[in-house]
Amino acid sequence: MRSSQAGRGLIPCFQEPGRRSGGEKLASRSELSAFLAGAERRAFKQAVYAVRDEEAALDIVQDAMLRLAQSYGDRAAEELAPLFQRILQNAIRDWFRRQKVRSLWTTLVSSLAPGRADEDDRDPLETLQEAGDANREDTPPDRLERSQLVEIIEQELRQLPARQREAFLLRYWEELDVAETAKAMGCSEGSVKTHCSRATHALAAALRSRGITL
């Protein structure tokens, strides 16, 4: 395991030791450092067990440690353990959500065949759901390939017209349904489907223009 950030930039984010108005003693920097040093390995094992990816687990633990140091410097020492556990679990859930959304992006874009950009009245997600979702094991090479593909999709997203980009992100990142997206954008549900369809087809065409086989 790579060296953690504990003791290297996290601790200065905490306040100097003192007391709350209720009399509880705040954690000192040395107490925080000792807590992080003792909790890090257990947290790493917990994250690895959850996500099955050591690099991702390390990022999750370091992010959780940073959040604890930055946001909870006014807490008593005895509160650190439950706070850290809650932050760690939230970070793990966030990781799974990002993986789910990015997998959806690549599946959406990769499922589109050339020459179908005229289907502007349908949400690509609805078409994908009708076709069914094949359940197969997600291997490390799969995750690496998807990560690289998502980076390219994110680059191409910046090139889309603003309304198309907004609809795409609300539907396929924020995971709003068509009605919720229409309300957020102040337009009709039909317009949402049109924007989503055009955005997804534009992204698929951009990948093909880069020589990426879908």
Work out the pLDDT band at 25, boundaries 50, 70, 90. low
Summarised one tens digit per residue, pLDDT across range 86-130 is 999 999 998 888 888 888 888 777 776 555 555 566 777 666 654
Domains assigned to the chain: 11-97 (1.10.1740), 111-209 (1.10.10.10)
CB burial of 75-95 (b: ≥16 within 10 Å; e: otherwise) equals: bbbeebeeebeebbeebbeeb
Rounded to an integer, what distance in angstroms lies between the CA atom of residue 27 and that of residue 69?
Answer: 11
**Confidence band for 187, pLDDT divided at 50, 70 and 90:** very high
Shortest CA distance to 29 belongs to which of 8, 52, 1, 54?
8
Q: Is the pLDDT of residue 7 over 60?
A: no
The larger pLDDT score, comparing residue 10 to residue 189, is at 189
Question: How confident is the prediction for the chain on average, in pLDDT?
Answer: 77
**Residue 172: count of CB within 10 angstroms of its CB:** 22
Write down the pLDDT at residue 61.
94
Minimum mean pLDDT range among 8-12, 29-33, 196-200: 8-12
Q: Who contacts 96 (Cβ-Cβ below 8 Å, separation ≥6)?
A: 51
pLDDT tens, residue by residue, 148-182: 778 888 889 999 999 999 999 999 888 899 999 99
**pLDDT for residue 131 is more than 60:** no
The residue with greater pLDDT, 179 or 24, is 179
Higher pLDDT, 18 or 205: 205
Angle at 88 between CA 97 and CA 80, to 5 degrees: 155
| The residue type at 14 | F
Q: Does residue 74 have a pLDDT over 80?
A: no
Residues 140, 138: Cα–Cα separation, whole Å: 7
